[in-house]
Structure 1
Amino acid sequence: MKTQDLIKLSTRMFKARASRTLLTILGMGIGIGAILFLVALGYGLQRTLLKALTTSESLLTVDVLPDKEAGLHITPERLNEFSGMEEVAEVSPAVDLPAKVKFGELTSDAVAVFVRPSFLKLGGMKTLGGELLGGNNEQGIVISSALAKVFDQEPSEIIGKTFIFSLSPPEESEEEEEGKIISIDTPFEIIGVVESGDTLFYAQDSSISQLLTFSEYSQVKVKCRSSSNVNQVKSQLSSAGFLVSALSEKVEEINKLFKIINFILALFGIVALSVSAVGMFNTMTVTLLERIQEIGIMKAVGASSRDIFWVFITESTVMGFFGGLSGIVLGIVVGKIFNLGINFIAARFGGQSVELFYFPPWFVLLVLIFAVTVGFATGIIPARRASIIDPLKALQYK
Structure 2
Amino acid sequence: MAKSSKISGKQKLTFPMKIIDVILLSWQNLVGNKMRSFLTIAGVGVGIGAIIFLVGIGFGLQQLTINKLVSSATVTALEVFSDNPDVLKIDDKVISRIKNLPQVEKVSAINNFPGQITVSSVTSESLIRVVDKNYYSLAPGELLAGVYPKNAGEAIVSFATAKTFGLENPVDFVGQAVKISVFTSITSLASAEENKEVDLKVVGVFNDASQLIEIADDEHTAVSADSYSRLKIKAKTSDDVESLQAQITLLGFNSTSLVSKIKEINQVFRWFEFILAGFGLIALIVASIGMFNTMTVTLLERTRDIGIMRAIGTKRRDVRRLFILEAGMIGLAGGIMGIIFAWIGVLFVNGGVNMLAQSARQPKVTIYYLPVQFMLLILGFSLLIGLLTGVYPALRASRLNPLVALKYE
The separation in 2 between residues aligned to 1:56 and 1:193, in whole angstroms, is 11
Contact residue 146 and residue 203 of structure 2 kept, 8 A: no
| Alignment partner of 1:367 is 2:383 | no
| Alignment partner of 1:303 is 2:314 | yes
Residue 155 of structure 2 corresponds to 141
**AA matched with 1:156:** P
Task: Say if 1:59 and 1:151 are closer, same or farther in 2 by CA, change over 3 A.
Answer: same
Residue 208 of structure 2 corresponds to 195
State the Cα deviation string for residues 234-271 of structure 1 (Å, max 9, x = none). Answer: 22112212343334444433333322222221111111
Residue 63 of structure 1 corresponds to 79
Contact residue 106 and residue 134 of structure 2 kept, 8 A: no
Contact residue 148 and residue 203 of structure 2 kept, 8 A: no
**AA matched with 2:68:** A
Alpha-carbon offset, residue 317 of structure 1: 0.5
Contact residue 34 and residue 331 of structure 1 kept, 8 A: yes
Select between 155-164 and 366-375 the one with higher mean Cα deviation. Answer: 155-164
Task: Say if 1:303 and 1:287 are closer, same or farther in 2 by CA, change over 3 A.
Answer: same
1:1-398 equivalence runs, <5 A: 1-55=17-71, 57-66=73-82, 68-75=85-92, 77-97=93-113, 100-120=116-136, 122-123=138-139, 125-127=141-143, 129-130=144-145, 133=148, 141-154=155-168, 156=170, 158-166=172-180, 171=186, 181=196, 183-184=198-199, 188-197=201-210, 199-206=211-218, 216-398=227-409
Consecutive unaligned residues of structure 2, counting only runs of 5 or more, are 1-16, 188-193
The separation in 2 between residues aligned to 1:292 and 1:11, in whole angstroms, is 18
**AA matched with 1:287:** T
The separation in 1 between residues aligned to 2:352 and 2:223, in whole angstroms, is 54
The separation in 2 between residues aligned to 1:44 and 1:335, in whole angstroms, is 11
State the Cα deviation string for residues 307-366 of structure 1 (Å, max 9, x = none). Answer: 110111011111111110110111022112221022123323434432222212222122
Identity, in percent, stands at 32
Task: Say if 1:299 and 1:189 are closer, same or farther in 2 by CA, change over 3 A.
Answer: same
The separation in 1 between residues aligned to 2:155 and 2:196, in whole angstroms, is 20
Consecutive unaligned residues of structure 1, counting only runs of 5 or more, are 173-178
Q: So what's the TM-score if we normalise by structure 1?
A: 0.85
Which SS does the other structure have where 1:164 is aligned? strand
**AA matched with 2:40:** T
Alpha-carbon offset, residue 180 of structure 1: 8.7
Contact residue 57 and residue 223 of structure 1 kept, 8 A: no
Alpha-carbon offset, residue 382 of structure 1: 0.5
Q: In angstroms, what is the RMSD of aligned CA positions?
A: 3.0
The size of the alignment, in residue pairs, is 386
**AA matched with 1:47:** Q
The separation in 2 between residues aligned to 1:59 and 1:376, in whole angstroms, is 45
Task: Say if 1:56 and 1:108 are closer, same or farther in 2 by CA, change over 3 A.
Answer: closer
The separation in 2 between residues aligned to 1:397 and 1:243, in whole angstroms, is 78
Alpha-carbon offset, residue 299 of structure 1: 1.7
**AA matched with 1:279:** G
Select between 36-45 and 306-315 the one with higher mean Cα deviation. Answer: 36-45
Q: So what's the TM-score if we normalise by structure 2?
A: 0.83
**AA matched with 1:303:** T
Alpha-carbon offset, residue 216 of structure 1: 4.8
Residue 11 of structure 2 corresponds to none
Contact residue 63 and residue 222 of structure 1 kept, 8 A: yes
| Structure richer in helix, relative to its length | 1
Contact residue 117 and residue 204 of structure 1 kept, 8 A: yes
The separation in 1 between residues aligned to 2:134 and 2:36, in whole angstroms, is 64
Contact residue 74 and residue 219 of structure 1 kept, 8 A: no
Contact residue 78 and residue 258 of structure 2 kept, 8 A: yes
Residue 12 of structure 2 corresponds to none
State the Cα deviation string for residues 120-178 of structure 1 (Å, max 9, x = none). Answer: 45347334x236637x6776532124422431222535442422335658848xxxxxx
Task: Say if 1:235 and 1:52 are closer, same or farther in 2 by CA, change over 3 A.
Answer: same
The separation in 2 between residues aligned to 1:68 and 1:205, in whole angstroms, is 22
The separation in 1 between residues aligned to 2:62 and 2:195, in whole angstroms, is 50
Select between 43-52 and 4-13 the one with higher mean Cα deviation. Answer: 43-52
Task: Say if 1:131 and 1:22 are closer, same or farther in 2 by CA, change over 3 A.
Answer: farther
Task: Say if 1:384 and 1:140 are closer, same or farther in 2 by CA, change over 3 A.
Answer: farther
The separation in 1 between residues aligned to 2:391 and 2:313, in whole angstroms, is 22
Which SS does the other structure have where 2:390 is aligned? helix
The separation in 1 between residues aligned to 2:377 and 2:125, in whole angstroms, is 56
Contact residue 77 and residue 257 of structure 2 kept, 8 A: yes
